[in-house]
A and B are shown apart, each in its own frame.
Chain A
């Protein structure tokens, strides 16, 4: 079982690599959106909070789109039937898929982040802090997005609207991410601890709820 679990991780990793082009396109769109944002506000002076909020909201949308795309293809009815009848719990498969999506998004963000920060006129001295903060907050974003996606892809379209119920779960991430700009007043380690704690909370509930939604709404 353990051997096959590692094989499953390797296979999911290979699937993730094959799906990287779509993530690359999403990050290219992020660069274009950042350029338009900066050009539109070129005559206005503003604090770092505004481009940072813009960046986080864009990352949130990118994660949501990526997770939904992966879930729509990887949890189509026929595949889901096999996953449900597999000796591996569906929650484990969801966890592995989410981690792969996370690694995929994170890797591309690390590549694109210096350019994006320059475009958004954010000091490069923030690069490591922003990358580290995103690495922590993206975990929660992906796991919450998986709950949203599992409801959105349900066959019963009337229920898709209920996926908005998960949106408030993103709010603490956005609020606390903005705190990075106040690192002098705010103990940054506590901020990291918050994201870690919030991720652990999501880790406890998200795979269970996602699996429940997939089983009940998509088969």
Chain B
């Protein structure tokens, strides 16, 4: 269970959000909604400890989250791609799996790539990929990195319908396996979820 208690954040003198509180239990999907500029991405960064809040706290299983807990429990996928342009798709996958300390399993890796990308030349350089394919590389980590909490910022942006269905299936399976998911998105998601509106 993750508890967000009275979280507030300000950039300079500008208050982005104030006293945000909600609880997400294991096996639940929480969607953050709100107009642009209301601080959805900032709230996700506060939850993952990438940004320090002005006030309030975030607890996981009753313990205040610090950078160690965040690195062990959170898988965060932001809006922008993180891969290296000069590396191939294959090299990028290897690189980011080693960064996330994933035990290498070629069979699972190949299976996941095939599920998400279908037939694709893995030796293609990252900059040669389309926006949607770049997004898929990020989402591939959902299948290969085993962490209990997924924090996703607009995961469906730029994806085709087939991929959206595949990602929805992944989210659904994660929730069934007692995973905890927090998503900032404007799109509707075809799985049971709760919504928190940032106003």
Chain A residues near B (Cβ < 8 Å): 1, 4, 7-8, 11, 14-15, 18-19, 74, 76-79, 81-88, 93, 219
Contacts and interface: CB of A to CB of B under 8 A. Distances in A.
B100 A87 contact: yes
Contact of B76 (A8, A15, A85, A88): A85
Interface of B: 45, 48, 50-51, 67, 70-72, 74-76, 78-82, 84, 86-87, 91, 94-96, 98-102, 104
B51 to A, nearest CB: 6
A86 B99 contact: yes
A77 B80 contact: yes
The secondary-structure label for the interface of chain A is helix
Contact of A81 (B72, B82, B84, B98): B82
B165 to A, nearest CB: 25
A81 to B, nearest CB: 6
A8 B71 contact: no
Contacts of A8: 95, 98-99
A204 B79 CA distance: 35
Nearest to A74: B84
A11 B67 CA distance: 25
A85 B84 contact: no
25 contacts: A4-B98, A4-B101, A7-B98, A7-B104, A8-B98, A11-B91, A11-B98, A14-B87, A14-B91, A15-B84, A18-B87, A19-B86, A77-B78, A78-B80, A79-B82, A81-B82, A82-B99, A84-B50, A85-B70, A85-B71, A85-B76, A87-B100, A88-B99, A219-B50, A219-B51
B75 A81 contact: no
Given A4-B101, A87-B72, A88-B101, A11 B94 contact: yes
Given A4-B101, A11-B91, A11-B94, A84 B67 contact: yes
